[in-house]
A = this chain, B = another copy of it.
Amino acid sequence: MYGLIGRMIAQPGKRDELIAIMQGGTAKMPGCISYVIALDPADDDSIWITEVWDDEASHKGSLTLPQVQATIAKARPLIAGFENRTVTTPVVITS
């Protein structure tokens, strides 16, 4: 499996709007095992995103999906940056 952990920073005051856009664009992505969007309680503009994919190719492929490309286009103006990006290799998933 292939995992990503990262923090996305919204433009000031735009976090909720950014999450609403992302929520619509990240459903039903082939090979996506888990996709969690979380608020950072310590920073009003930060979002933590944790992803589990069956493999890296599925993650890369998702970026070419029309729904994802449309989401990226809508979200980009609301994003100030990315931090703390970590690639992982998930081995156990309980849900």
Contact = CB atoms under 8 A, between A and B. Distances in A.
Interface of A: 1, 3, 5, 19, 22-23, 26-27, 29, 32-42, 48, 50, 52, 86-95
Contacts of A23: 92
Copies in the complex: 2
Interface of chain A, main secondary structure: strand
A19 B93 CA distance: 12
Report which residue of A26, A50, A86 has the largest number of chain B beta carbons within 10 angstroms of its beta carbon: A50
A82 to B, nearest CB: 15
A92 B22 contact: yes
Contacts of A50: 5, 36, 50
A83 to B, nearest CB: 12
